[in-house]
Chains A and B, each alone.
Chain A
Amino acid sequence: MTFVQVLVNGVVLGAFFSLMAVGLTLIFGVLRVINFTHGVMFMLGAYGTWYGTELGIPYLVAVLLSALAVAALGAAIELLVLRRFRGLLIEGAVVAIALAVLIQNLTNEIIPLSPKSVGSPFPGTADVGGVVLAWHRVFLFGMACVLIAGLAIFVRRTRTGRAMRALQQNPYAAELQGIRSDVVAPAVFAIGAGLAALAGGLIAPVQQLLPGIGDAPLLASFVVVVLGGLGSIGGTLFAAMLIGLTQSATTTYWTGPAAVALSFLLAIAVLVVRPKGLFGDD
């Protein structure tokens, strides 16, 4: 496999990680919650997309509807459950973990474990000068770019996005400007969950669907978020690319399982030098 191929694979992987991690860093930055349900949101997005296509809904529409449903679920989780543990970091994390286990196992019970497939509107591959590009992955990359750009614009330019950043940087002053964390919190959760679900839906055609598929992306997201700096979107993107490239190179030149381990080691190495992550300052 050529070097360029490794690079391309790494960039696509990085884009995927970005989509997963950016929601996580947003939730932690604004709400100070370590969101262990992020993995199952991804999984539900994938399953929801599959279900939609089974009902005859076109793929892209299914991805969107599924993401909207999961976003609503995310908001509900914040409103009904996690709100009660605001400020209690460990207790909140434990409840989030329990929720994730609950949802994952319910899915296991309700949906049979038989093989599922989701068709992609972009099948096949292209060969560009020796580099193999699966069209769906190109699509995935493109969508990730669009979505993250959209998020960046939202956070930088809109009133709600500014309110989220204000809440993150100084909750007391933000309250005094009329920003209501009770309103912002479910919104942030919805966005985070929605992005994870989109990632799940977008990757469904090239992935085997199992209730546990959220675990690995959750793990990777944690590494990316801490490496990039908790709460920093730009940092997360950079870290995601770094981790994506690292994993791609490791998988190609060494072995698959070592890829995850190596990315962790890389993260630790960076943290020794910069304890707050590459771009964090919390």
Chain B
Amino acid sequence: MTSARTTRLLGYAAVAAVLVLVGLVPSTSGPYTNHIFVLAFLAIGLAASYRPLLVAGQVSLAHGAFYAVGAYGFAILAQKHGVSFWLAALAGGGVASLASVLIGVPSLRTAGAYFFLCTFAFSVVITSVFQNFKSLTGGFAGISGIPYPPGITTEADFFWVAFAACALTVAVFVVLDRSLWGLELHGVGASPELAEAVGVSRFATLLRAFAVGAFFAGVLGAFYASFTGFIAPQSFDLWLSVSILTAVIVGGVRHVWGGVLGAAFITLVPLAFHWKGSGDAIFGAACVIVVMFVMRRGIATELGALIARLLRQVPAMPEHTHLLDAGDDAVEARDPAAFAARPVVLDVRAIAKSFGGIRAVRGVSFDLHEGETLGLIGPNGSGKTTTFNLISGFARPDHGEVTLRGESISAASPHRVVRHGLARSFQASAVFGHLTVFENVLLAVRGSRPVNPVARMLVPVRRRGAHTAHAEAVLAEVGLLEFAAVQADALPYGHKKVLGLAIGLATNPSVLCLDEPATGMTDVEIAHLTSVLRRVRANHDVALVIIEHRLAVIRELCDRVVALRSGEVIAEGTAREVLESPEVMTAFLGGVPA
């Protein structure tokens, strides 16, 4: 694709140009400018290391505190105990990372506002620690006489040290962004529930982002301490964390270079206007407000989208929007009784769930045999989706047990349920919106399998291999292969639902639960869907549980059917038996139709 290559070449050219310009700085400007640039490099590094958590949808105000912890850790070791520069710097990073784990483990399980406050609190508390532990930190007097790195003697030299540190940090985070872990971050940020539903542990992903980010912040803090030679509690305050957050939001979270741009913008733009007093802050704040109004997704994201549009790099939807029907299958003869004889793969016993005064599920039991297709029907509000939530780990039953292949999964979190082999789709067309169709499926393929930590963080996830082949195979099976490069949000509704199905399939489940797969689909789309499901279950021998309102679909696909009403099972048997039973017809129609 020439336009992709053009973009890449343009990108490299831009980076090269910037590097050249930056390289000219020490020889063409005075100490003040030099000083500002060093601080800008550190800020850029901080932004790049902070961004992953934001990608995953969490806001922290602790990044500046980790910077401070790293600075103090380094200063104490290097200045007071004579530890070698590089070792002390790494130790500073290590201490910061340790601190992040200590506050992250309790607070990232709930995450959200609670996590936000914990990071806020940490920033405040750590300042207090710096102020009060005089013996360790020197209290308000701080620590002075912190050494430069060995071999560096002037501030001008430090420019290059800071530049190298910044470049290295950015490079590392570019690699991390391209790895599986980077994809997981985007997934968790796009939809935490769906991420869990493909086997990605939200907690583990967030903790990694927090700890890795903290490490780099700590090391950068060490560089800061070395550069200024003197640190005190007043050198670091809450507003530092706030400005890092601002930098990434203003620059745009979507790409790594967004944070770079934002941090550069916030630290360097006031440089252009040498205003006295608060002029810098006023200008900076005003800029942020204007940028947020005009480019709500951040400068880099908006610019990136604009450039992509200009170079026509947005993959066009294929001309025909019909889903490809991969071959004509004869309707296979299927004997429901044969499946009933196979071992039970999913056993649901008397599960119940109430929400406040509403008893949504009041004791539902059924079982599912290997390879079988079970239909779950009932009027709106009869407890079908709640039942799904209870068996897939999204809700915990108040009573009852759910057993998958002999193991209890009633209390398992969703990502563990997926690892055990049960996948589900969602009623609304849940996809990872800003990722491409291919990335959606790839995340499901990779997320549901164990991966060693090194490979997870360092290997580019889109590199061709067994996993990408598997993802392509799944897409081909459901007829979406042509749409692989299209952004999931841009798909028409019917295609999104099929993508939801593909995502579930990609986790290689023994049991696949589909919540209203045919709702809102046209007849043509439904025909495609049923032929896909037939093909899939024949090829993979996967057991299906399908919630559907279109009873024709149920009749066509299901070996057995369970009918719910008001949270209870009112009928069970073959599709014909259930659909023609008087209880079910009354439940649906208020009577038996003439």
A touches B in complex, CB < 8 A: yes
Please judge, given known A-B contacts A230-B113, A268-B118, whether A91 and B292 are in contact too, CB under 8 Å.
yes
A184 within 8 A of B: no
Residue of B nearest to A103 (CB): B285
Q: Are B282 and A106 in contact (CB under 8 A)?
A: yes
Q: Per a CB cutoff under 8 Å, which of A95, A109, A222, A255 touches B120?
A: A222
CB distance from B61 to the nearest CB of A (A): 10
Residue positions of B touching A, CB distance < 8 A:
54, 59, 106, 110, 113-114, 117-118, 120-121, 124-125, 127-129, 131-132, 238, 242, 245-246, 249-250, 277-279, 281-282, 284-286, 288-289, 292-293, 296
* Residues of chain A lying within 8 A (CB to CB) of residue B279: 109
* Residues of chain B lying within 8 A (CB to CB) of residue A219: 120, 124, 238
Q: Are B118 and A108 in contact (CB under 8 A)?
A: no
Residue of A nearest to B292 (CB): A95
In whole angstroms, how far apart are the Cα atoms of A222 and B149 in the complex?
Answer: 41
* Residues of chain B lying within 8 A (CB to CB) of residue A223: 117, 121
Q: Are A257 and B128 in contact (CB under 8 A)?
A: yes
Q: Are B289 and A108 in contact (CB under 8 A)?
A: no
Would you give 25 A-B contacts (Cβ < 8 Å), ordered by A? A84-B293, A85-B292, A90-B59, A91-B249, A94-B250, A94-B288, A95-B292, A97-B242, A98-B285, A98-B286, A101-B285, A102-B286, A106-B282, A108-B278, A219-B120, A219-B124, A222-B117, A230-B113, A257-B131, A260-B128, A261-B125, A264-B124, A264-B125, A271-B117, A271-B118
Q: Per a CB cutoff under 8 Å, which of A88, A222, A275 touches B114?
A: A275
Q: Are A98 and B246 in contact (CB under 8 A)?
A: yes
In whole angstroms, how far apart are the Cα atoms of A84 and B289 in the complex?
Answer: 12
Q: Are B128 and A94 in contact (CB under 8 A)?
A: no
In whole angstroms, how far apart are the Cα atoms of A261 and B122 in the complex?
Answer: 9
* Residues of chain A lying within 8 A (CB to CB) of residue B292: 85, 91, 94-95, 98
In whole angstroms, how far apart are the Cα atoms of A172 and B244 in the complex?
Answer: 36
In whole angstroms, how far apart are the Cα atoms of A245 and B59 in the complex?
Answer: 30
A4 within 8 A of B: no
Please judge, given known A-B contacts A94-B292, A101-B281, whether A226 and B113 are in contact too, CB under 8 Å.
yes
* Residues of chain A lying within 8 A (CB to CB) of residue B285: 98-99, 101-102, 105
Q: Which of A91, A102, A222, A223 has the most CB of B within 10 A?
A: A102
* Residues of chain B lying within 8 A (CB to CB) of residue A102: 281-282, 285-286, 289
* Residues of chain A lying within 8 A (CB to CB) of residue B282: 101-102, 105-106, 109
Q: Are A94 and B249 in contact (CB under 8 A)?
A: yes
Q: Are B245 and A94 in contact (CB under 8 A)?
A: yes
A151 within 8 A of B: no
A258 within 8 A of B: yes
Question: How many residues from A make CB contacts under 8 Å with B?
Answer: 35
In whole angstroms, how far apart are the Cα atoms of A271 and B114 in the complex?
Answer: 8
CB distance from B206 to the nearest CB of A (A): 15
CB within 8 Å of B: which of A92-124?
A: 93-95, 97-99, 101-102, 105-106, 108-109
* Residues of chain B lying within 8 A (CB to CB) of residue A264: 120-121, 124-125
CB within 8 Å of B: which of A201-237?
A: 219, 222-223, 226, 230
Q: Are B296 and A88 in contact (CB under 8 A)?
A: yes
Q: Per a CB cutoff under 8 Å, which of A98, A109, A257 touches B278?
A: A109
Residue of A nearest to B242 (CB): A97
CB distance from B457 to the nearest CB of A (A): 25
Residue of B nearest to A106 (CB): B282
Beyond the given pairs A98-B292, A261-B127, 10 more chain A to chain B contacts, judged by CB atoms under 8 angstroms and listed by A's residue number, are A95-B292, A102-B285, A102-B289, A105-B278, A106-B278, A223-B117, A226-B113, A257-B132, A265-B121, A268-B118
Q: Are B249 and A99 in contact (CB under 8 A)?
A: no
7 interchain residue pairs of minimum CB distance: A261-B128, A105-B278, A102-B285, A264-B121, A98-B288, A101-B285, A105-B281
A144 within 8 A of B: no
Q: Are A81 and B289 in contact (CB under 8 A)?
A: yes
Residue of B nearest to A277 (CB): B114
* Residues of chain B lying within 8 A (CB to CB) of residue A255: 132
* Residues of chain A lying within 8 A (CB to CB) of residue B113: 226, 230
In whole angstroms, how far apart are the Cα atoms of A267 and B249 in the complex?
Answer: 28
Is the contact region of chain B dominated by helix, strand, or loop, or is it mixed? helix
A183 within 8 A of B: no
In whole angstroms, how far apart are the Cα atoms of A28 and B534 in the complex?
Answer: 50
CB within 8 Å of B: which of A224-282?
A: 226, 230, 255, 257-258, 260-261, 264-265, 267-268, 271-272, 275
CB distance from B517 to the nearest CB of A (A): 26
In whole angstroms, how far apart are the Cα atoms of A235 and B246 in the complex?
Answer: 31
Please judge, given known A-B contacts A102-B286, A264-B125, whether A108 and B277 are in contact too, CB under 8 Å.
yes
Residue of B nearest to A95 (CB): B292
* Residues of chain A lying within 8 A (CB to CB) of residue B121: 223, 264-265, 267-268
In whole angstroms, how far apart are the Cα atoms of A268 and B286 in the complex?
Answer: 34
Q: Which of A105, A219, A260, A267 has the most CB of B within 10 A?
A: A105
* Residues of chain B lying within 8 A (CB to CB) of residue A272: 106
In whole angstroms, how far apart are the Cα atoms of A109 and B279 in the complex?
Answer: 8
Q: Are B128 and A258 in contact (CB under 8 A)?
A: yes
In whole angstroms, how far apart are the Cα atoms of A265 and B117 in the complex?
Answer: 11
Q: Per a CB cutoff under 8 Å, which of B118, B249, B284 touches A90?
A: B249
* Residues of chain A lying within 8 A (CB to CB) of residue B110: 275
In whole angstroms, how far apart are the Cα atoms of A101 and B464 in the complex?
Answer: 48
CB distance from A152 to the nearest CB of B (A): 24
Residue of A nearest to B54 (CB): A90
Q: Which of A81, A98, A223, A226 has the most CB of B within 10 A?
A: A98
Q: Which of B120, B246, B292 has the most CB of A within 10 A?
A: B292
* Residues of chain A lying within 8 A (CB to CB) of residue B286: 98, 102
Residue of B nearest to A259 (CB): B128
CB distance from B234 to the nearest CB of A (A): 12
Please judge, given known A-B contacts A90-B59, A106-B282, A275-B114, whether A98 and B128 are in contact too, CB under 8 Å.
no
Please judge, given known A-B contacts A94-B288, A105-B285, A275-B110, whether A260 and B124 are in contact too, CB under 8 Å.
yes
Q: Are B289 and A95 in contact (CB under 8 A)?
A: yes
Q: Are A101 and B284 in contact (CB under 8 A)?
A: yes
In whole angstroms, how far apart are the Cα atoms of A222 and B116 in the complex?
Answer: 11
In whole angstroms, how far apart are the Cα atoms of A97 and B54 in the complex?
Answer: 17
* Residues of chain A lying within 8 A (CB to CB) of residue B59: 90, 93
In whole angstroms, how far apart are the Cα atoms of A245 and B151 in the complex?
Answer: 54
CB distance from B308 to the nearest CB of A (A): 22
Please judge, given known A-B contacts A97-B242, A98-B292, A102-B286, whether A258 and B132 are in contact too, CB under 8 Å.
yes
In whole angstroms, how far apart are the Cα atoms of A102 and B292 in the complex?
Answer: 14
In whole angstroms, how far apart are the Cα atoms of A106 and B114 in the complex?
Answer: 32
In whole angstroms, how far apart are the Cα atoms of A257 and B131 in the complex?
Answer: 8
Please judge, given known A-B contacts A97-B246, A101-B284, A105-B278, whether A226 and B289 are in contact too, CB under 8 Å.
no
CB distance from B286 to the nearest CB of A (A): 6
In whole angstroms, how far apart are the Cα atoms of A102 and B283 in the complex?
Answer: 8
CB distance from A143 to the nearest CB of B (A): 28
* Residues of chain A lying within 8 A (CB to CB) of residue B284: 101
* Residues of chain A lying within 8 A (CB to CB) of residue B117: 222-223, 226, 267-268, 271
CB distance from B399 to the nearest CB of A (A): 23
CB distance from B46 to the nearest CB of A (A): 16
In whole angstroms, how far apart are the Cα atoms of A271 and B110 in the complex?
Answer: 10
In whole angstroms, how far apart are the Cα atoms of A272 and B109 in the complex?
Answer: 11
In whole angstroms, how far apart are the Cα atoms of A257 and B140 in the complex?
Answer: 12
* Residues of chain A lying within 8 A (CB to CB) of residue B242: 97
Residue of B nearest to A97 (CB): B242
Q: Which of B129, B238, B242, B284 has the most CB of A within 10 A?
A: B242
Q: Per a CB cutoff under 8 Å, which of B106, B125, B249 touches A265?
A: B125
In whole angstroms, how far apart are the Cα atoms of A94 and B118 in the complex?
Answer: 18
Residue of B nearest to A94 (CB): B249
* Residues of chain A lying within 8 A (CB to CB) of residue B118: 268, 271
In whole angstroms, how far apart are the Cα atoms of A109 and B118 in the complex?
Answer: 34
* Residues of chain B lying within 8 A (CB to CB) of residue A84: 293
In whole angstroms, how far apart are the Cα atoms of A95 and B292 in the complex?
Answer: 7
In whole angstroms, how far apart are the Cα atoms of A257 and B127 in the complex?
Answer: 9
